[in-house]
Structures are given as structure tokens and as C-alpha cells.
């Protein structure tokens, strides 16, 4: 049996066309190709999106930010890319390169991630970031890198350009918190897994993630209370 029949390989548009012709149902070609395009837009295998390294992925992120006017992001374990320092981004992307066994374009990827942070400066674009308190303690890059990153977060928490909230570990469990996700306007949601990035566009799916974000937002602390949690994490880091 072929890889297609065994489900080990997704069909291309050419595969769909050839199959329909072989089965003598050419009338089905257009609908099935549309379905393939829809699935490809929803499911992006990391092997494909990272096959040339990390730089292109960061550039695609910037393009997504530029198309939206409201970006809402939840990160339970690490600092979001738009808020990362160069050293912290280097720690994150070096792990991505090692884990997925992709071409090592670390410095190009780091620079592209920093370039994407230019999106934060757009006056008509709103960013709402929510972090799990655990993200303040996940050791990315070592003590020096973490201390620098936490100081940067304190500065960003004072910024008028974004909203930054932290969900304390002691907050009541009113919504599952394990999955990181980003909502673009109310149009789409991206969710990362170990093997792929999912882009959800069905209205009912987007609504579920908006509900989750609203519940997380209700649990989060902002302003001085958020800075206090970050500052305490910094003190703990400096004592290590």
C-alpha cells in the first residue's frame, strides 16, 4: 500500500487530481482540492515550516502580527517571543533547532525574532499578554540570561504599548492552562504542539479560546502586582 493509503503522507493537489481522474470522478476535483488547501492552512508540520531553519518562521510570525489589530497571547511556561531578550531568544531557538534536528541558523533566527518585535510599536495594534507565573522560573539560558529577561519584563510591564498580566500559581483552577495559544483579532488562533502548529479559523473554535483567554485574564494580576511577582522571581534568581 502507498504512503497515502496508509495515512503516512498528506496528498498534494496533484495527487487529488490524479486520484479523481483514475476513479473517473473529475467533478470532485475542485471540492477535494479546496479541502486539501483548507487542511494545509490549518495544520503546518514543523518539518515543513522549519525545514530551512528558524528565520522564515519568525518572519511569518511578523506577517501575522501585521495583519491583526488585536493580538492576545497566553504562555504558561516561557516568555512570549515578542517580549524576549536576544539571549533568551537564543536559548529558546537553540532548543528548537536541537529538538527538531533542523538547519542551524540560530543567529539569523534570533535576529528575525527581535525584528518581529517592531510590531509592538504600531499605535493602532493592541497586544494583551498573559504569562503563567511558572514562565518566570523556567530556566532558559542560565542565571544571567534569566535575570536580564526578568528585568526586561519589568520594563515591559510599565510600557503603555502593551498589557502584561501574570496568572499566579495560587490562582484557582477555573480553566485548563497547559496549552499556549495566540488569538489574532477574533479571526484565528494558533496553537503549537510538538509536531505542528495548528491554525484554527472555525468560529466556534475561536470562541472557545476567547473564553479561555477571558478566564485567564480574570485570574491575572497586572500593574504593580504583576511587577511584584516578576521582581520576586528576579530576587530568587539572583540568590541561586
* Alpha-carbon gap, residue 233 to 146, rounded angstroms: 10
Task: Answer whether 93's CB lies under 8 Å from 110's CB.
Answer: yes
Please name which of 213, 237, 232 lies closest in space to residue 140, comparing C-alpha atoms: 237
Please name which of 135, 109, 116 lies closest in space to residue 71, comparing C-alpha atoms: 116
Count H helices, E strands: the chain? 10, 7
What CATH superfamily is the domain 50-239? Endonuclease Chain A (3.30.870.10)
Task: Answer whether 54's CB lies under 8 Å from 97's CB.
Answer: yes
Q: What is the residue-level pLDDT of the chain in tens, covering all 240 positions?
A: 366 565 556 677 788 788 788 888 888 777 676 566 555 556 788 888 899 999 998 998 888 999 999 999 999 999 999 999 999 999 999 999 999 999 999 999 999 999 999 999 888 899 999 999 999 999 999 999 999 999 999 999 999 989 999 999 999 999 999 999 999 999 999 999 999 999 998 889 999 999 999 999 999 999 999 999 999 999 998 776
Cell numbers of 21, please?
481522474
Residues of the chain with CATH 3.30.870.10: 50-239
In this structure, are strands 70-75 and 126-132 parallel, antiparallel, or unpaired?
parallel
Question: What local confidence, expressed as pLDDT, does residue 1 receive?
Answer: 38
Task: Answer whether 17's CB lies under 8 Å from 33's CB.
Answer: yes
Question: What local confidence, expressed as pLDDT, does residue 22 receive?
Answer: 84
> Three-class SS of residue 223?
helix
Is the pTM of the predicted complex or chain greater than 0.85? Answer: no
Amino acid at each position: 500500500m502507498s504512503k497515502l493509503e496508509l495515512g503516512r503522507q498528506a496528498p498534494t493537489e496533484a495527487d487529488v487530481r490524479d486520484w479523481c481522474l483514475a476513479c473517473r470522478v473529475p467533478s470532485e476535483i475542485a471540492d477535494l482540492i479546496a479541502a486539501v488547501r483548507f487542511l494545509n492552512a490549518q495544520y503546518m508540520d514543523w518539518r515543513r515550516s522549519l525545514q530551512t531553519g528558524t528565520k522564515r518562521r519568525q518572519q511569518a510570525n511578523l506577517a501575522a502580527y501585521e495583519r491583526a489589530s488585536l493580538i492576545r497571547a497566553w504562555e504558561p511556561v516561557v516568555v512570549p517571543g515578542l517580549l524576549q531578550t536576544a539571549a533568551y531568544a537564543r536559548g529558546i531557538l537553540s532548543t528548537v533547532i536541537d529538538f527538531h534536528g533542523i538547519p542551524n541558523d540560530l543567529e539569523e533566527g534570533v535576529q528575525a525574532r527581535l525584528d518581529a518585535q517592531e510590531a509592538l510599536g504600531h499605535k493602532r495594534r493592541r497586544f494583551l499578554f498573559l504569562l503563567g507565573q511558572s514562565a518566570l522560573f523556567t530556566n532558559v539560558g542560565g542565571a544571567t540570561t534569566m535575570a536580564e529577561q526578568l528585568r526586561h519584563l519589568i520594563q515591559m510591564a510599565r510600557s503603555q504599548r502593551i498589557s502584561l498580566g501574570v496568572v499566579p500559581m495560587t490562582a484557582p483552577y477555573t480553566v485548563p492552562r497547559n496549552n499556549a495559544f495566540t488569538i489574532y483579532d477574533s479571526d484565528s488562533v494558533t496553537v503549537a504542539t510538538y509536531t505542528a502548529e495548528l491554525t484554527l479559523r472555525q468560529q466556534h473554535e475561536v470562541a472557545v479560546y476567547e473564553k479561555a483567554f477571558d478566564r485567564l485574564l480574570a485570574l491575572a494580576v497586572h500593574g504593580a502586582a504583576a511587577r511584584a511577582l516578576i521582581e520576586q522571581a528576579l530576587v530568587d534568581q539572583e540568590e541561586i
